[in-house]
């Protein structure tokens, strides 16, 4: 958002991580407007169309998978709208979806797609990974005050001219771990991997509907984690303590949704068997 | 430099890493002037005094140990000068010296002291570590546009109020490694550690003077690495290839000093015995 916004950024938010993108823009002195959807809802293609039709914006950010609400935005439909505005740079936060869900950056016209090592890639935290289009690099060249360590132009140019070396010392051990993990991902096969994620998501959603209820509209429920509405008013904190003793962990609701929802992650190296075992343990603890 | 400069930063440089600090300031839109010393020389206390006496600056940066030239700045003497200007925030790049050399931040009045995991701490790269004074935090609160991930105020406030949690997901595996390494360092004892570094430095310097010559003035030669003037006009690249076959590695000169100098690191977990073995192997390869 700092490197490619020259005029004004349109930040669409469906939860905490969308809001954070706006904080980042503001703290970097970027002109940016925040367009929030209700918690549990998506950024609709109509909203994006309406905002971009003002002609005020040259960059748009979309959260693909909002970890705080378990909502996955319909990025294919949103991309169709954004394509109507060729001057706009299209940025996607795919932190918790990339490597668990297919994201065709070229086909969708995504200029910058950002992810992180510790979510669906299944590695420890410490590495952020991003794809960048030629269009975005050229745009960034026209933007001043891009900073040093996170300057996409300096990163791009150094990688291109220096045989994949970086301008500063990078996190080498995690890069080796990423390389290893990518080999395992290719061995599994991308389609197999995406199908495995889908199977885990469907199983968890059906379980949630049976015993509780889904927080987001099922049509937009995330493929990498499920946010469950706490309709039984259980103590999520206590449940998690009991699970911990058995070697499992779930997440409480994020921020304002604490105790009102809980979240079950099903991504990275987990299998459908792992998910089934976790859910059986929850049933057992809650005697449901 | 971004978080604590309100007026103008005085950047003192004795090599590539000092220059880099100036690039960082400029790329973040900070007003900054660069004061360079000749390669191989120090930032003299007199220079600092002259620059700060203009009253134009509210922040000063000093490179403690310049890895490109092997020069260690006389930070004690420089600190005495900076104390004459109480409005100035004093920042030190101790990337390649901290944990190898004693740096008394409080006594010297250093407001921000930065280091990194991959040098004298002896860990893989991926973590930067910094100390920050209350004075610097208060100053930073008055500065706008501090960015997001590297905003010292947000980091400080989150750590203080949230029981040492971070605003964003940190590099956890390296933090555990750091914790382990710090325990080993305390077991060794700080004075023992500093003396070990000094013994390795003195041995390497004497070796360098015997077979080649020292690049910096011996008075200011670094305690964590020695930069040797290539007076015998050997091929550093070839020497390093031969060393590699034997399981050793040295560094070529940095940037313009390539092949004109070479650099021998003696820091972190290395012992005097390791250094002796390396130097004997160099003698053997060069038949000197």
pLDDT exceeding 70 applies to what percent of chain B? 100
> Which chain B positions have a beta carbon within 8 Å of A265's beta carbon?
none
DSSP element (H, E) containing A79: helix A75-82
B125–A174: do the CB atoms touch at under 8 Å? no
For residue range A37-77, what is the model confidence (pLDDT) as tens digits?
999 999 999 999 999 999 999 999 999 999 999 999 999 99
Q: How far is A30 from chain B (nearest CA, A)?
A: 9
Would you call A245 an interface residue with chain B, using a CB distance cutoff of 8 Å?
A: no
DSSP string, B202-215: HHHHHHHHHHSEES
Would you call B244 an interface residue with chain A, using a CB distance cutoff of 8 Å?
A: no
Q: Looking at residue A168, what is its pLDDT?
A: 92
B171–A145: do the CB atoms touch at under 8 Å? no
Q: How far is B143 from chain A (nearest CA, A)?
A: 11
Q: Looking at residue A225, what is its pLDDT?
A: 97
Q: Which chain B residue lies closest to A176 (C-alpha atoms)?
A: B124
Intrachain domains A9-116+128-170 and A192-286 with the same fold: no
The answer as to CATH 3.40.640.10 being correct for domain A9-116+128-170 is yes
| Contact between B78 and B32 (Cβ < 8 Å) | no
Q: How far is A148 from chain B (nearest CA, A)?
A: 5
Q: Looking at residue A222, what is its pLDDT?
A: 98
CATH architecture classification, B190-286: Alpha-Beta Complex (3.90)
> Which chain A positions have a beta carbon within 8 Å of B174's beta carbon?
126, 171, 173
Q: Which chain B residue lies closest to A175 (C-alpha atoms)?
A: B126
Q: Looking at residue B186, what is its pLDDT?
A: 97
Q: How far is B129 from chain A (nearest CA, A)?
A: 14
What is the pLDDT averaged over residues B150-171? Answer: 94
Q: How far is B190 from chain A (nearest CA, A)?
A: 27
Which member of B124, B148, B170 has the closest CB to residue A27? B148
Treating both helix axes as pointing N-terminal to C-terminal, what angle do A152-161 and A134-141 enclose, rounded to 10 degrees? Answer: 120
> Which chain A positions have a beta carbon within 8 Å of B23's beta carbon?
148
CA distances from B178 to A177, B99, B118, B155, B173 (A): 19, 12, 10, 19, 9
The answer as to CATH 3.40.50.20 being correct for domain B9-147 is no
Which member of B116, B124, B147 has the closest CB to residue A147? B147
Four-residue CA torsion sign, A100, A101, A107, A108: negative
Q: Which chain B residue lies closest to A29 (C-alpha atoms)?
A: B145
A118–B24: do the CB atoms touch at under 8 Å? no
In b/e form, how buried is each residue of A157-193, taking b as 16+ CB within 10 angstroms? ebeeeeeeeebeeebebbbebbeebeeebeeeeeeeb
> Which chain B positions have a beta carbon within 8 Å of A27's beta carbon?
145-148, 151
B21-28: long-range contacts, CB 8 A cutoff, minimum separation 24: B21/B61, B21/B63, B21/B93, B23/A148, B24/A148, B25/B1, B27/A145, B27/A146, B27/A147, B27/A148, B27/A151, B28/A145, B28/A147, B28/A148, B28/B1, B28/B2, B28/B147
CA distances from A235 to A193, A260, B150 (A): 33, 9, 36
Which of B129, B87, B82 lies closest to B109, judged by CA? Answer: B82
Select from A9, A173, A176 the residue whose CB has the most chain B CBs within 10 Å, as the one to mutate to test that interface.
Answer: A173
Rounded to whole angstroms, the Cα distance separating B151 from A4 reads 20
Those of residues 83-122 in A touching chain B at CB distance below 8 A are: 116, 118
A173–B148: do the CB atoms touch at under 8 Å? no
Q: Any bridge partners for residue A128, and if so which?
A: A116
Q: How far is A166 from chain B (nearest CA, A)?
A: 13
Q: How far is A225 from chain B (nearest CA, A)?
A: 18
For residue range A172-195, what is the model confidence (pLDDT) as tens digits?
999 999 999 999 999 999 999 999
Would you call A169 an interface residue with chain B, using a CB distance cutoff of 8 Å?
A: yes
Select from B2, B11, B125, B152 the residue whose CB has the most chain A CBs within 10 Å, as the one to mutate to test that interface.
Answer: B125
For residue range B188-231, what is the model confidence (pLDDT) as tens digits?
999 999 999 999 999 999 999 999 999 999 999 999 999 999 99
Q: Looking at residue B53, what is its pLDDT?
A: 98
Going by C-beta distance under 8 Å and a sequence separation of 6 or more, which residues neighbour residue A208?
A: A214, A226, A228, A264
For residue range A269-284, what is the model confidence (pLDDT) as tens digits?
999 999 999 999 999 9
Rounded to whole angstroms, the Cα distance separating B193 from B190 reads 5
A171–B144: do the CB atoms touch at under 8 Å? no
Which residue shows structure tokens 């994620």? A197
Q: Which chain A residue lies closest to B123 (C-alpha atoms)?
A: A173
**How many CB atoms are closer than 10 A to CB A60?**
26
What is the pLDDT averaged over residues A223-232? Answer: 97
Those of residues 35-54 in A touching chain B at CB distance below 8 A are: none
Would you call A272 an interface residue with chain B, using a CB distance cutoff of 8 Å?
A: no
Which member of A23, A125, A145 has the closest CB to residue B28? A145
Four-residue CA torsion sign, A162, A164, A167, A172: negative
Q: How far is A276 from chain B (nearest CA, A)?
A: 28
Which residue shows structure tokens 């003299």? B44
- At A110, is the secondary structure helix, strand, or coil? coil
| Contact between B237 and B252 (Cβ < 8 Å) | yes
> Which chain B positions have a beta carbon within 8 Å of A144's beta carbon?
29
CATH topology for A192-286 is 3.90.1150
Q: Over chain A, what is the mean pLDDT?
A: 97
DSSP string, B16-68: HHHHHHHHHHHHTT--EEEEEPPTT----HHHHHHHHTTS--SEEEEESEETT
Confidence bin at B39 (pLDDT 50/70/90): very high
Contact pairs from chain A to chain B, CB under 8 Å: 65
**How many CB atoms are closer than 10 A to CB B230?**
20
Would you call A255 an interface residue with chain B, using a CB distance cutoff of 8 Å?
A: no
CA distances from A274 to A1, A265, B57, B168 (A): 38, 11, 59, 28
Would you call A150 an interface residue with chain B, using a CB distance cutoff of 8 Å?
A: yes
Domain ranges of chain B: 9-147, 190-286
Q: Looking at residue A185, what is its pLDDT?
A: 97
Confidence bin at A105 (pLDDT 50/70/90): very high
Which member of B27, B124, B126 has the closest CB to residue A148? B27
Q: How far is A133 from chain B (nearest CA, A)?
A: 22
């Amino acid at each position: 958002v700092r490197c490619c916004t020259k005029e004004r950024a349109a930040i669409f938010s469906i939860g905490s991580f969308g809001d954070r993108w706006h904080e980042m823009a503001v703290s970097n002195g970027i002109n940016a407007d925040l367009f929030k959807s209700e918690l549990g809802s998506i950024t609709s293609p109509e909203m994006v169309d309406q905002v971009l039709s003002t002609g005020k914006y040259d960059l748009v950010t979309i959260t693909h998978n909002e970890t705080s609400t378990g909502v996955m935005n319909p990025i294919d439909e949103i991309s169709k709208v954004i394509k109507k505005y060729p001057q706009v740079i299209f940025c996607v936060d795919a932190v918790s979806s990339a490597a668990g869900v297919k994201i065709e950056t070229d086909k969708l016209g995504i200029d910058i797609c950002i992810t992180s090592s510790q979510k669906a890639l299944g590695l420890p935290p410490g590495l952020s990974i991003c794809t960048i289009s030629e269009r975005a690099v050229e745009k960034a060249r026209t933007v001043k005050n891009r900073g040093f360590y996170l300057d996409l132009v300096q990163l791009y140019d150094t990688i291109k001219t220096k045989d994949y070396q970086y301008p500063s010392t990078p996190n080498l051990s995690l890069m080796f771990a990423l390389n290893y993990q990518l080999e395992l991902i290719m061995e599994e096969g991308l389609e197999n991997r995406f199908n495995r994620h889908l199977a885990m998501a469907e199983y968890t959603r059906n379980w949630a509907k049976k015993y509780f209820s889904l927080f987001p509209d099922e049509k937009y429920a995330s493929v990498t984690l499920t946010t469950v509405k706490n309709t039984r008013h259980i103590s999520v904190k206590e449940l998690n303590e009991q699970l911990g003793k058995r070697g499992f962990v779930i997440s409480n609701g994020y921020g304002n949704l604490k105790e009102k929802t809980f979240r079950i992650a099903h991504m990275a190296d987990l299998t459908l068997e792992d998910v089934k075992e976790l859910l059986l343990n929850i049933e057992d603890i809650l005697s449901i």
